[in-house]
Amino acid sequence: MDRLGQRDGVEVVGFAGGVALFAGAATPAGLSAEALARAAGEHLARVVGRSVPVLFARQEHTRLTFTYSAPEPLQPEPHSVGVCDALITAERGVGLCVRTADCLPIVLAGDGAVAVVHGGWRGLAADIIGAALARLRAELGIEPHGIEAAIGVGVGPCHYRVGDEVVAALAHHDAGEAGWRDGDRVDLASWARGRLAALGVAEARILVLAGCTACSAAYHSHRRDGPRAGRQWNAAILL
């Protein structure tokens, strides 16, 4: 994955065969999941030069994944796929979108497929990363060593004090020696990087975008703003 800079306030990351977009607070608070997917579609259209369909989910911090394939093209508008926290496709020209406001947005890509993952601590502890990689392997034949990954900005350890139950749940999975815990502070991005590496993704192919959603007004943050917090969309597409 390679950072390509910002466009209209959105971080653009390139990967072999496509692009990922990480929006930050580019959209206001109060938008519905569908409206955020529509905003993602508008930005994707500027990048790819045409309107595209965008898939989004009812996110519930699960380990459920959804793979999209269809014989007929979708209309260039938002499409809900139901409950899941990772979306996968090998179809070109179909956007995948997840929403975050402290959770990690994670993009996995390789050999003509892409996945976007919503990674809050509950989903990470349920091994949503492992579930997405397993589905890429089982359904599309893509091994972890053929994957490149980008971990977008979530809450940093500076603002993420947690209870013992969170630490125990995350420690249940192998995340290597990534230094993700310091007392009651957890670094979710370091944990996710370590988990990807433990599952076979080469560390040199994992990009971690620096920052903390709670620190910066450039991001929506539930930990900082509580129930009034907005959500940022994050999307990826195969070209």
Tokens of 140: 């599309």
The number of C-alpha atoms within 13 Å of 226 and in the hemisphere containing its C-beta is 0
Cα pseudo-dihedral 157, 158, 162, 168, rounded to 10: 20
- Average model confidence (pLDDT) across the chain: 96
Instruction: Report the CATH number at residue 162.
Output: 3.60.140.10
pLDDT at 176 over 90: no
Give per-residue pLDDT as tens, 84-104.
Answer: 999 999 999 999 999 999 999
* Residue 222 φ then ψ, to 5°: -70, -35
Q: Report the domain count for the chain.
A: 1
pLDDT at 42 over 70: yes
Mean pLDDT of 174-193: 92
**Per-residue pLDDT at 41:** 97
pLDDT at 178 over 80: no
Mean pLDDT of 224-229: 93
Amino acid at 64: L
Domain that holds residue 10: 2-238
In terms of DSSP H, where are the helices of 101-235?
121-125, 128-140, 164-171, 188-198, 222-225
CA gap 87, 81 in Å, rounded:
9
pLDDT at 222 over 70: yes
Cα pseudo-dihedral 118, 124, 125, 129, rounded to 10: 110
Question: CB–CB of 214/233 below 8 Å?
Answer: no
Residue 177, SS3? coil
